Amino acid sequence: MAERRSSTTWEGDLASGSGSTEFDSGAIPAQQVSWSARTEDSDGKTSPEELLAGAHSTCFSMALSHGLAEAGTPAKRLTTEAVVSFERQDEGFAITSSRLVVRGVVDGLDDDGFQKAAEQAMQGCPVSRALSDSVDVSLDATLER
């Protein structure tokens, strides 16, 4: 249905080098990346994990919004945070988890209904599905009044 592109130019070695990632859509300005921004203080630069967190929170929010609307209880507001963990393991570094935290305002829905809708959205979200074989994906969903 669609292809999206980005490209990264990297200069130098891993520890002291740096790069720039550009997005073909132009919606996001070029972003600076470095190993230290990935493993220590971001210092205004981004990382693959931050970009993945943005993709996951957006995809999940879209899936939940769609599911709620299809069920006749459209959301007034959904606020989703994704926290992606990057950790050293015996075999090297790995993205180990993506924790979704969603808060929603939805008229005509109880807590149990919101939990079920959020679980279904997590299972249906293409980013969650892409991560599910190798990354622990978890969910904390709260219906706000």
Structure confidence at residue 91 (pLDDT): 87
pLDDT score, position 1:
84
User: Which segments of the chain have a pLDDT < 50?
Assistant: none
Q: What is the pLDDT of residues 47-85, one digit of tens each?
A: 999 999 999 999 999 999 999 999 999 999 999 999 999
The upper half-sphere exposure of residue 36, i.e. CA atoms within 13 Å in the direction of its Cβ, equals: 8
Q: In this predicted structure, what is the pLDDT of residue 105? A: 97
Please give the domain boundaries of the chain with CATH numbers for all domains: 6-39 (no CATH), 48-144 (3.30.300.20)
Predicted confidence at residue 69, as pLDDT, reads: 98
